[in-house]
Chain A
Amino acid sequence: MKLHWKIWVLIIALIVAALFIAPWAMFEKGVMIKSVEKNSTELSIGLKSGMIIREINIYPINNLEDYTRAVSEIFSNINQSIKITIKTTENSFILFTDEQLKITVGEIPKSKIKTGLDLSGGARALVKPQNVTLSDLEIADLVAVTGARFNVYGLKDITIKPVKDLQGINYLLIEIAGATPTDLETLVGEQGKFEGKIGNQTVFVGGKDISHVERSGQRAGIESCSAQQQTEMCRFSFPISLTEEAAKRQAEITGALTISSEDPQYLSEKLDLYIDDNLIDSLFISKDLRGQVTTQISISGSGTGETRADAIKSAEESMKKLQTILITGSLPYKLEIVKLDTISPTLGKEFTKNLIILALSVFIIISVILFIKYRRIKITATVVLTMFSEAFITLGIAALINWNLDAPSIAGIIAGMGTGVNDQIVIIDESVSNAHISLKERIKRAFFIIIGAFFTIIAAMIPLFWAGAGMLKGFALTTIISVLAGILITRPAFAEILRKIQED
Chain B
Amino acid sequence: MLRQSSPVAVQGARRGLSFYDIVAAALILAWILAFADSSRHMAQPLSVESQPISLSPWWLPLYALRSTMRMLAAMVASLVFTFVFASLAAKSRRAESILVPILDILQSVPVLGFISVTVTAFMALAPGHALGAELAAIFAIFTSQAWNMAFSFYQSLKTIPEDLKEAAASLRMSAWMRFCRLEVPFAAPALIWNMMMSMSGGWFFVVACEAINVGSTSLVLPGIGSYIATAITERNLTAILWAIGMMLVVILAYDQLLFRPLVAWSYRFRGGEEDETPQPRPWMLDVLRRSSLVAMVTEPLGRGFDSLVRGSRFPEAHAQPRREPDEPSPIGDKVWNAGLAMVGLAGAVYFGRYVLEAFPLGMIAEAFLLGLPTLVRVLVLIALASLIWVPVGVQIGLNPRLATIVQPVAQMLAAFPANLLFPIAVSIIVAFRLNHDVWLSPLMVLGTQWYILFNVIAGAAAIPRELKDASGNLRLKGWQWWRDFALPAVFPYYLTGAITASGGSWNAAIVSEWVSWGDSHLAAHGIGAYIAEATQAGDMDRVVLGIVVMIVYVTGLNRLLWRPLYALAERKYRMN
Is B one of A's binding partners? no
